[in-house]
């Protein structure tokens, strides 16, 4: 009974991630490049910055989850360490959209290769010592927190839709 529930609960968490990614895909597909260049609210992040930010944070999950190297490490500086600035030089919007798809599909492939027991292993930014007392700092928890992060920004990106 518990073993079945174990698999089920991992699937529930991964499904929530995939649903959130899919909803963001659909939203991004509905937004023109012109829309993505607009700010979500006056003097706030624009759509391109949020897209780059999401790609960079998802890409960093490759390292955090021990899957391998990030695909586009150069995005971390302009889209995570630095705040949004107008007229910043970035990859083209079509490149960013392609990176978004590539990073998420690579993660999904790695998720499918991960066993139940591996999900309970520590993620790479916690030490072995700390993990003994903080076993919740495992790989699965990264999925929970990054799904929440994605929903937070999806709630912002949607403001670009039907914007006045």
Binding site for a second copy (CB under 8 A): 2-3, 5-6, 8-13, 15-16, 20, 40-44, 120, 135-136, 140-141, 144-145, 147-149, 151-156, 159, 163-164
Nearest to 48 by CA among 74, 77, 87: 87
How far from 23 is each of 20, 69, 77, 164, CA to CA, in Å?
5, 26, 26, 22
Q: Which is nearer to a second copy, 53 or 91 (CB)?
A: 53
CB of 66 to a second copy, least distance (A): 18
CB of 16 to a second copy, least distance (A): 5
Nearest to 78 by CA among 46, 45, 56: 56
Q: Which is nearer to a second copy, 34 or 41 (CB)?
A: 41
CB of 116 to a second copy, least distance (A): 8
Q: Which is nearer to a second copy, 102 or 121 (CB)?
A: 121
* Residue 86, both tokens: 């107008």
Q: Which is nearer to a second copy, 87 or 152 (CB)?
A: 152
Sign of the dihedral through C-alpha 31, 36, 38, 39: positive
CA-based Rg of the chain, rounded to a whole angstrom?
Answer: 17
CB atoms within 10 A of CB 153: 17
CB of 46 to a second copy, least distance (A): 13
């Amino acid at each position: 009974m518990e073993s079945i529930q174990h698999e089920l609960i991992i699937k529930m968490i991964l499904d929530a991630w995939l649903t959130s990614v899919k909803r963001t895909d659909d939203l991004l597909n509905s937004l023109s490049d012109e829309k993505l260049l607009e700010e979500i609210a006056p003097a706030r992040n624009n759509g391109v910055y949020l897209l780059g930010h999401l790609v960079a944070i998802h890409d960093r999950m490759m390292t955090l989850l021990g899957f391998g190297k990030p695909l586009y490490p150069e995005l971390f500086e302009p889209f995570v360490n630095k705040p949004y600035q107008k007229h910043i030089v970035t990859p083209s919007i079509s490149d960013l959209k392609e990176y978004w798809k590539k990073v998420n599909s690579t993660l999904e492939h790695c998720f499918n290769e991960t066993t139940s027991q591996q999900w309970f292993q520590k993620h790479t930014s916690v030490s072995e010592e700390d993990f003994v007392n903080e076993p919740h700092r495992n790989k699965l928890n990264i999925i929970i927190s990054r799904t929440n992060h994605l929903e937070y920004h999806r709630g912002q990106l949607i403001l670009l839709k039907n914007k006045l």
